[in-house]
Amino acid sequence: MTHAPHRALVHGERTGPPGAPSGRAARGRRPLVLALLVAAFAMALATLLPAGIANAEGEAVRGTLQTSKSGPIEGVEVTVTDSSGDEVGSVETDDEGRFRVELPDGPGEYTVSIDADALPDGVELGDAGAERTVTVQPNAQQNVLFGLEDGSTNSGGGGIRAVQLLVDGLRFGLIIAVCAVGLSLIFGTTGLTNFAHGELVTIGAIVAWYINVQGGVPLIAATLIAMVVGAGVGALHELALWRPLRKRGTGLVAALVVSIGLSLLLRYAIQIVYGGFSNPYGEYQSQQAVNYGVFTMTNRALASIVIAVVVLVLVALMLQRTKIGKAMRAVADNRDLAASSGIDVNRVILVVWMMGGALAALGGVLLGLSDQVQWDMGFRLLLLMFAGVTLGGLGTAYGALVGSVIIGVFVQMSTLVIPDDTKYVGGLLLLIVILVIRPQGILGSRARIG
Amino acid sequence: MSDVLDALAIGVKSGLGFQAIFFALLAIGINVHFGYTGLLNFGQIAFAMLGGFGIAISVSQWGLPFWVGVIVGIVAAVVLALLLGLPTLRLRADYLAIVTIATAEGLRLLFRSVSATPVTNGTRGLSAFNGSFIALAPWDTQRRYDLLGTSWSGGELWVALVGWTLVALSCLLVWLLMRSPWGRVLKAIREDEDAVRALGKNVYSYKMQALVLGAVFGALGGMVYAVGTGSAIPDQYQNANTFLAYAALILGGAARVLGPVVGSIILLFILQFADTLLRAFISNGVIPEALLSSTDVAQIRFVLVGIGLMLLLVFRPQGIFGDRREVMLDAR
């Protein structure tokens, strides 16, 4: 979900089983395998490219050479040798940094090496060197990943890296906060632990992607439309499902399991419609990081931070100053008392759902902007949202905000001491530790924990 | 028509195979947690993963005997249950839900991470650890046997036989426990925790015991799965499996001894039957390719489970066998 913008990566896919229909795949559909492969941490590599090379029968190795500073790297020779050391093929990367070598000898173990001298200035090989040994399965398009470094990640020493991670973490935390405000307010006003909230995030990101990439609408306009759609989806959840369930007197635990069912349904329906691949938005993708002295940041990351802060301040102002905002806080605080003082509780809850849906959609677009759009991006964010909301205090709007930012920063900063691909484990551990020390969260009240 | 019969046979095989045993054992554990005690454990798959990897790591990596691996898996699950229960059992139900789901996801990410590769072999997982178990089979495991219209390998049959024996013993244990005074306390905790506390029972301790017991069932399920597939890969232990097990439990009927078992058999049968039939219809053109491709079928089953779970909870929360009064589904 967060990204490590200075890693190069190689992007590829495996084809389905032999004879599987590839019609969808040719249009950019990827099989589930890829989705599972990238599911957890390939997201951390922010510069995935869309599938450019069509699927073909037979085995091949493939990949892309690029870093965020240098962009795609052209003209580097990539050589493939088989297990006995004989050269199978050799190509130069194209203008988008991609390479692909067919393997006429079929599946087996191959060694892929790149010509380190041909790399541009400032780009260096990572710790693992210039060679990769891969095992190619039958009919697989084996992707090969060279961890290229462009000098900006580890060069500045511990202090500067910490600042960089702090800034990345702030950005990530603010995105979590934008997504999680709705989750927390929905919990506060209805008591529902909504496991389907992650899908609101995904839907927002994907609607914006379709409008932006397929419809050709500028991303900013697409985001606004996606927010309206998100608000509509939120309202639909409330009107079609949760309000009738509340009328039936469905218990909170039953509602929780229903939300899990809804989450499964939506998530896999999204995967059927959208596919298991990850795609970038049509704009703002080729930005290079701007150097701010102690840290670097792309303009889109800066814009994400600014947008998130402005939106969160607006939400806070709304909760503090406007009538509906006060009503929301009143309902969250004590629903019966709010109802008896003349507040239309159902209307307030509907507004909360619409607001939560719109904010989740916005958060989804911001997340997709840094990490690309994927069918399960929201679900993977959900646990961190819960962590943030629990840390801040379940049911409080400001708590969600504070908690999410802390979680985001913690997750990023933890990579100073733990490996990059285990950073979420740190975030989830933090959640458990919080529950031991202060179960009601930072801003929560003791009465809520039961 | 032969498509339907084939799908039926494959569905029956799946409903009786090791995957159904896996879900049945997961669901028996969840039944102890959720059905009898009212604990919302959404991380059951974590216990299964520890069970499966307990065997896999012990045998493949450390070279220990198979049965030591079984003990390692069970001990690991018990330790995790204690660690999870310690902070959360005093809190409200949804906290346990969030913590358990977070733990399951965190553990899976940890097991598949690069830093864990020396132990778990990362995303590729471990294999070749079930040989000594399969060798115990009293029949030839290399041959294939025809049963109920489908062909089973000798190894599959052996795993299924041992697995169903395990399920039967687990059910017997749950039945005996739940009609004992201990089981009555658990059910009382589900109904009214404060009343139980007022009677001088240590609610925390009873909840912890229930959590550990259910975790052991989960670990056994994971072992059956690992032995059945012959490999242990972190990504096999996705959180969606926990939800499938919940669906099986609620379908069969929570707080009933045989509810999770019947639920798992029916669920696996329906999933595999629908899967095979859809694929057959797509491949011979009954369903046009444009509407649904065969790669989508794997996702359709989760969509169906999601719809099924929602409909069950809304319209028939007691499932097939359950008692509506007992399945209040709003326990702590």
Q: Per-residue DSSP letters for B57-116?
A: IIIIIT---HHHHHHHHHHHHHHHHHHHHHHHTTS-HHHHHHHHHHHHHHHHHHHHSGGG
Write the pLDDT tens digit of every residue in A86-113: 777 788 777 777 788 877 777 777 888 8
Whole-angstrom CA distances from B290 to A32, A373, A413, B286, B295 are 18, 24, 46, 12, 12
Helix, strand or coil for residue A22? coil
From the list A250, A261, A268, the residue facing B309 with the nearest CB is A261
From the list B99, B123, B299, the residue facing A268 with the nearest CB is B299
pLDDT band at A1 (very low <50, low <70, confident <90, very high): very low
Could you give the CA distance from residue B96 to residue A256 in angstroms, rounded to a whole number?
A: 13
**CB-based contact A3:A371 (threshold 8 Å):** yes
**CB-based contact B74:B54 (threshold 8 Å):** yes
Q: To the nearest 10°, report the CA torsion of A168, A169, A171, A175.
A: 140
Q: Tell me, what's the pLDDT at A8?
A: 35
- pTM > 0.80: no
Helix, strand or coil for residue A184? helix
The per-residue pLDDT of chain A, averaged, comes to 77
Inter-chain CB proximity A449 and B308 less than 8 Å? no
Which residues of chain A are within 8 Å of residue B113 when distances are taken between CB atoms? 41, 419, 421-422, 425
Q: Tell me, what's the pLDDT at B277?
A: 86
Q: Provide the pairing of β-strand A77-82 with A87-92.
A: antiparallel
pLDDT band at A277 (very low <50, low <70, confident <90, very high): confident
Inter-chain CB proximity B306 and A266 less than 8 Å? yes
From the list B42, B94, B289, the residue facing A21 with the nearest CB is B289
Return the residue of A nearest to B247 by Cα.
A261
* Annotated domain spans of chain A: 23-149, 157-449
Which residues of chain B are within 8 Å of residue A44 when distances are taken between CB atoms? none
Could you give the CA distance from residue A307 to residue A359 in angstroms, rounded to a whole number?
A: 11
For residue A30, is pLDDT > 70?
Answer: no
Return the residue of B nearest to A193 by Cα.
B94
Helix, strand or coil for residue A205? helix
Write the pLDDT tens digit of every residue in A378-412: 888 888 888 888 888 776 778 888 889 988 998 88
pLDDT band at A35 (very low <50, low <70, confident <90, very high): very low
Q: Tell me, what's the pLDDT at A5?
A: 37
**CB-based contact B39:B85 (threshold 8 Å):** no
Helix, strand or coil for residue B318? coil
Could you give the CA distance from residue A439 to residue A361 in angstroms, rounded to a whole number?
A: 29
Q: Tell me, what's the pLDDT at B32?
A: 94
Percent of chain B with pLDDT over 70: 97
Could you give the CA distance from residue A54 to residue A26 in angstroms, rounded to a whole number?
A: 6
Q: CA torsion sign, B100 to B105 to B109 to B111?
A: positive
* Annotated domain spans of chain B: 18-238
Selected residue of A55, A197, A253, A385 to mutate for chain B interface (largest B Cβ count, 10 A): A253
Across B216-235, average pLDDT: 93
Please state the ipTM of this predicted complex. Answer: 0.82
Q: Give per-residue burial for A199-230: e unless 16+ CB within 10 Å, then b.
A: bbbbbbbbbbbbbbbeeebebeebbbbbbebb
Write the pLDDT tens digit of every residue in B161-218: 999 999 999 999 999 999 999 999 999 998 888 899 999 999 999 999 999 999 999 9
Q: Tell me, what's the pLDDT at A22?
A: 38
Could you give the CA distance from residue A218 to residue A322 in angstroms, rounded to a whole number?
A: 32
User: How near does any CA of chain B get to the CA of A381, in Å?
Assistant: 11
pLDDT band at B136 (very low <50, low <70, confident <90, very high): confident
- Of A33-47, A178-192, B102-116, B211-225, which has the strongest mean pLDDT? B211-225
Which residues of chain A are within 8 Å of residue B97 when distances are taken between CB atoms? 193, 256
What fold is seen in the domain A23-149? Immunoglobulin-like (2.60.40)
Q: Tell me, what's the pLDDT at B48?
A: 95
User: How near does any CA of chain A get to the CA of B146, in Å?
Assistant: 27
Selected residue of B94, B101, B302 to mutate for chain A interface (largest A Cβ count, 10 A): B94
Which backbone phi and psi does A67 adopt, to 5 degrees? Answer: -130, 165
Lowest mean pLDDT among A43-47, A93-97, A269-273, B187-191: A43-47
Contact pairs from chain A to chain B, CB under 8 Å: 163
